[in-house]
Structure 1
């Protein structure tokens, strides 16, 4: 249908023009394109003139008819700026466009005719009009919407290079139209296919001289609009002609492309928000509006299971079944998929014979039609499951498998990568928190490991790793020890046991008044004896003996009292409420002591870490701390520990001064901390100065460094 000045003549809907105006400004990036463009039928007329002598009789006849009509209206040979001329010569224009618009295909083709670089068309096929009115339309250039301006300018300029500078440059970006009907959540994608053979470039000013170096510079900076406009001034050229644009449905291809792009993101299958985005893409890919996506990481067989989960649990029954492959779910859809390592399609879950709790719960959660596919690694081991579900029966069938083949490898790669990332994070935590290799010596471990790899290639698997040692390093040792920690600990245990035994005596005495059980009197006497013994001191034997008496002898009696005499139940319950729920004894004073020790250790350890970070900036060195009743640390510094830096005695004197200042800071911090502790504790700081260098070696069995050689053992003995 022909339009005038961007507004439709006859029945072309205004909505279509509005959409195309938006497209013109978004895709081309300009309300007015930098190059002047004019609607002109001259290139098309030249085409029909040549066809008058065509060997095809029908084509030649049509060409002669067209040219005869054009010659009767010579104004059509000139550029058309006043679109009312199109309505005046409607019949002739429609004949001219016949070659571009085969009438037999117009009901199915999504076609538009426009002037060059302008989407405000003069003709829209009926099917395109209908598409544009179905719902919201957005436009883009693949994944590069923000580069649309530069691409449009560069494309026009490249045509100038080809026409006037003898180049063979092809810049043909795929403009993607996204259409979503108003009553649907599905998106459809269309790619524009442009026919620009009826476009000519008119030179308005003398050509600017461009060397091949200049042209190469342009081609190396295709998004630099300022450079292109400087080298090829738009005001020097005009584009005349007509362009035919066909929209080709690429929903399946574009959905796959977007799926690949999304699955490349970090945490693509970990976060729930990303799963919902993937679900929307798959809805477009399958063209199923109510499609649901489920995804979970598993290890199958179960004996392959690792000791941790992967944080990838987005299957349909994640909230109902802790493990989809529990023995109680034997014979379920998921178990069959894993057993046979093949995709399973269930057209209607309500028709499954002998359903397991899995199928029942799937139906209850709104799933009627289901696809479950195994996700495998490169060794064909099952590492995950992909689910597609729909609340409508018979949504999925064997034809769905054809589309599944394209998406399964993408999900396999994504879930394997995410599992590896999570495993790496866990390994990093293990190294950091449990078996850390200190950063200052990590380079040596990397170097030794690489050497082992090379040796294994030459010598085979029998090659063993070299020992890792550092010679001529100076040791610095220090500790902040809790003063009298054993005494305070024993006093806390004594106080708790005495409190515990007093509470036992109260309950047993009350029970003695109501029950004629001689054994109660025996336990009362035994409790008195334990209290007298505790008053004289406590040993490790006393601790285990009293604890065994309370938990294995007294507590069963109290449970029996509560059962036989309900009126004494409250007294027994009050006693149990005073006990630690894990240890089963009174644990107040000892817990207070342990909390204080923990607090002291944490404060000192944090202070050591903070100060060591500063010292590492002075010169890298090996540092390791240990927590006991207080904190102690080993520090080694020397040239052999360094990969690049240079060590000198100045560094040694500097680090020793740093150590002394560090211990002073710890002393002050402990004085500030002491009043805040539930059990007041003091620390005594020690610095061990050892003037001779020694050697240290990494002990593979203990996974830590230790002094090496008989001579150096003297240092450990003194320490």
Structure 2
């Protein structure tokens, strides 16, 4: 025991005194029903003889001299049966000079060598200041009439000597054997001063001015008890860190959480990992969140499909939504590639705990060690309190990450077809992850390999001719009306310039009468707007007749274009109606077709509607693609085109300008690749060989039958262009079947197509659509299923 008077930092005089404990023994030994009746009179005699123990002890040798008796006296406080488990020591009052303790206590806080690796978790700057303030409060209660709980919380953190991990202890004080003696009558501070002192609880110098330490002496001894609160403190600290927004996105924070979980389990070799799931988009990832990783996908830079962990212990945790504990992975008898990969990382012991949000698994918490049995069914219960906090942290991160990914995709790609959104999200997660690790990056290439294309076109027949005809008729009407007004003006104002203007009007009319040549439209419009109309406007108010003619003329002009727009408006309105009808019909049919098998679809409106459809295994998030789907969609395409033709036929009565459509299908049986082009924000076929397919698409609508001069596409008919005889055989079956069902009529025509630039050897089938058949319900697939069954049998 150190000399109490010289204890550093203590402003009070403190004296070790066992007289209180001796009185306790005497009182109990002299009672008939005392719990200490087992003690003999010899103990009383020993107590009486040890006169040095009845007064304050200044000399440490006194304790050694009476060590056996002190051991007996202290047994009333230190239960012998619990000496190995209770962490308790006896000290000089409000002083850390100890003189008696259990073995466990001195192992943690040895008396002979104060530890310098103590971490203080209390509000005080150090433990000595906390004990000093407890002494002041002790005085306040005894001499100034207060009733304050002076047991200030002192939480200590100390590295465990065996594991090196921090253990947390609450240092509790028992002061029942302490008394304080005032050496002179203390001055009484008023209530206002006491309140001020309590507001500045740890300001030792302030307290010293009002309560002078030299006027008091503490006698007796204090009991210090260490209560292990590691689990509670670590759980609380883990929760605190998990509430931070970057709890699992900051590597430093995550490693701090790992250290605290190591301390919670008392396992220095324990490591922590997290993997998150986005089941809606079939994504497993840990990259893009932090610089830590998941042990399941530690060697994968890219995001993975959820099928990656099928039949593994992760799959079990995901399915059962409860932790899976493997005490010895080496002895696990149902190893998949996942378990084998874990063993390669020297992981023998693992807990996989699913993290959920609204009943859906959004991630997995991984606790791993190289030592079998470290993690088991008993200590796994410690996780139950923190799993909801990990789930909340991952939910928060996934929400932020999802918004960031969508913003990045929106910037790079604009609108995305729902069927391929999952692929863009995967690429987006990868891009965001690379941004965090390496700085700004671009969206990875999006390519779908081995997909089968379907191309279709519902083209408005002779749309260019009809548009030019409507423009010509409008211009002729405009020139004719202008000529009539100028002729009437000439009757009142004989001006040679007006004769010249009529001459030029006649010239323009004669030039466009046979048809519009290149540049004719813009030339006539400029002539009308810049010369004719200003001349008419000049004489507008000449007289009442001219004014009426002029007003009627300008009322006929389109207010935006400044020329007559009657026939052209009728044509454009009808064209828009037809386009919208075709487009809406295809969209509705395509939505239902997505339910058969997901596929990529895009359409374009021109003078009519053309569309691309791609399907194949690489486009599927889940499931398996079969060529049966391809045949199904080819038949679906034919039926849809028949229905489009009939719907447009029914629309004719609503059109101010009659229009007809011709329909075309391009068959391409070889799978190809499509790549997303970020510059044009669309998919294009990939590879030099596949470019031929794009060339053919752009040219076949104007193709002619070889050696005939006849246009291949014709109103009321479907033309099917192909290059392989096997394609013709397949489609002939479809056509015969649809004839039997009333969709088609007449004979199937077969042609060779004239040579196109960049495309040779093309052939075509052509057949008439039965306009009398009622439009089918596109949601009814019984016709398709029936034919597919026949094809399968064949």
TM-score (norm 1): 0.51
* Equivalent residue pairs, number: 414
- Tell me what 1:360 maps to: 340
Alignment of 1:297 onto 2:276? yes
Matches within 5 A, 1:419-430: 419-420=398-399
C-alpha spacing 1:304/1:263, structure 2 compared with 1 (3 Å)? same
CA contact (8 A) 2:251 2:292 kept: no
Alignment of 1:217 onto 2:196? yes
Instruction: Provide, for residues 406-434 of structure 1, a one-character-per-residue CA deviation record: whole Å limited to 9, x for no partner.
Output: 22123223333444565677899999999
- Tell me what 1:76 maps to: 53
C-alpha spacing 1:47/1:317, structure 2 compared with 1 (3 Å)? same
- Tell me what 2:181 maps to: 202
- Tell me what 1:640 maps to: none
User: Which of 142, 149, 157 is equivalent to 2:121?
Assistant: 142
How far did residue 166 of structure 1 move?
2.1
- Tell me what 2:721 maps to: none
How far did residue 315 of structure 1 move?
1.3
Alignment of 1:56 onto 2:33? yes
CA contact (8 A) 1:41 1:242 kept: yes
Alignment of 1:405 onto 2:375? no
CA contact (8 A) 1:343 1:374 kept: yes
CA contact (8 A) 2:251 2:290 kept: no
C-alpha spacing 1:65/1:259, structure 2 compared with 1 (3 Å)? farther
Instruction: Provide, for residues 580-608 of structure 1, a one-character-per-residue CA deviation record: whole Å limited to 9, x for no partner.
Output: x999xxxxxxxxxxxxxxxxxxxxxxxxx
C-alpha distance in 2 between matches for 1:152 and 1:63:
38
**Secondary structure, counterpart of 1:157 in structure 2:** helix
- Tell me what 1:249 maps to: 228
**Secondary structure, counterpart of 2:98 in structure 1:** coil
C-alpha distance in 2 between matches for 1:252 and 1:336:
29
Matches within 5 A, 1:615-634: none
How far did residue 172 of structure 1 move?
2.2
Matches within 5 A, 1:186-585: 186-302=165-281, 309-311=288-290, 314-321=293-300, 322-323=302-303, 325-377=305-357, 379-420=358-399
**Secondary structure, counterpart of 1:337 in structure 2:** helix
Name the stretch that deviates more: 72-81 or 115-124.
72-81
Instruction: Provide, for residues 202-240 of structure 1, a one-character-per-residue CA deviation record: whole Å limited to 9, x for no partner.
Output: 112222212222222222222232332223222222211
C-alpha spacing 1:429/1:34, structure 2 compared with 1 (3 Å)? farther
Matches within 5 A, 1:669-688: none
Alignment of 1:155 onto 2:130? no
How far did residue 179 of structure 1 move?
4.2
- Tell me what 1:90 maps to: 67
**Secondary structure, counterpart of 1:261 in structure 2:** helix
CA contact (8 A) 2:348 2:372 kept: yes
C-alpha spacing 1:313/1:47, structure 2 compared with 1 (3 Å)? same
- Tell me what 1:477 maps to: none
C-alpha spacing 1:352/1:140, structure 2 compared with 1 (3 Å)? closer
C-alpha distance in 1 between matches for 2:409 and 2:162:
52
User: Which of 90, 112, 116 is equivalent to 1:113?
Assistant: 90
C-alpha distance in 2 between matches for 1:149 and 1:203:
22
Gaps of 5+ in 1: 7-23, 436-580, 584-719
Name the stretch that deviates more: 275-284 or 410-419.
410-419
CA contact (8 A) 1:297 1:312 kept: no
C-alpha spacing 1:431/1:43, structure 2 compared with 1 (3 Å)? farther
**Secondary structure, counterpart of 2:168 in structure 1:** strand
C-alpha spacing 1:346/1:289, structure 2 compared with 1 (3 Å)? same
**Secondary structure, counterpart of 1:406 in structure 2:** coil
How far did residue 198 of structure 1 move?
0.2
C-alpha spacing 1:380/1:204, structure 2 compared with 1 (3 Å)? farther
C-alpha spacing 1:173/1:304, structure 2 compared with 1 (3 Å)? farther
CA contact (8 A) 2:133 2:202 kept: yes
Considering only CA atoms, is the larger Rg found in Structure 1 or Structure 2?
A: 2
- Tell me what 1:677 maps to: none
CA contact (8 A) 2:284 2:303 kept: no
C-alpha distance in 2 between matches for 1:236 and 1:434:
81
Instruction: Provide, for residues 564-594 of structure 1, a one-character-per-residue CA deviation record: whole Å limited to 9, x for no partner.
Output: xxxxxxxxxxxxxxxxx999xxxxxxxxxxx
Name the stretch that deviates more: 339-348 or 381-390.
339-348
User: Which of 127, 150, 168 is equivalent to 1:171?
Assistant: 150
C-alpha distance in 2 between matches for 1:431 and 1:31:
67
How far did residue 317 of structure 1 move?
3.9
**Secondary structure, counterpart of 1:193 in structure 2:** strand
Instruction: Provide, for residues 440-467 of structure 1, a one-character-per-residue CA deviation record: whole Å limited to 9, x for no partner.
Output: xxxxxxxxxxxxxxxxxxxxxxxxxxxx
C-alpha distance in 1 between matches for 2:173 and 2:344:
51
Gaps of 5+ in 2: 415-676, 680-794
- Tell me what 1:497 maps to: none
How far did residue 88 of structure 1 move?
3.2
C-alpha distance in 1 between matches for 2:100 and 2:307:
66
Instruction: Provide, for residues 516-544 of structure 1, a one-character-per-residue CA deviation record: whole Å limited to 9, x for no partner.
Output: xxxxxxxxxxxxxxxxxxxxxxxxxxxxx
C-alpha distance in 1 between matches for 2:12 and 2:402:
56
CA contact (8 A) 2:283 2:303 kept: no
RMSD: 4.0
C-alpha distance in 2 between matches for 1:74 and 1:354:
75
C-alpha spacing 1:170/1:4, structure 2 compared with 1 (3 Å)? closer
How far did residue 157 of structure 1 move?
1.1
How far did residue 111 of structure 1 move?
2.6
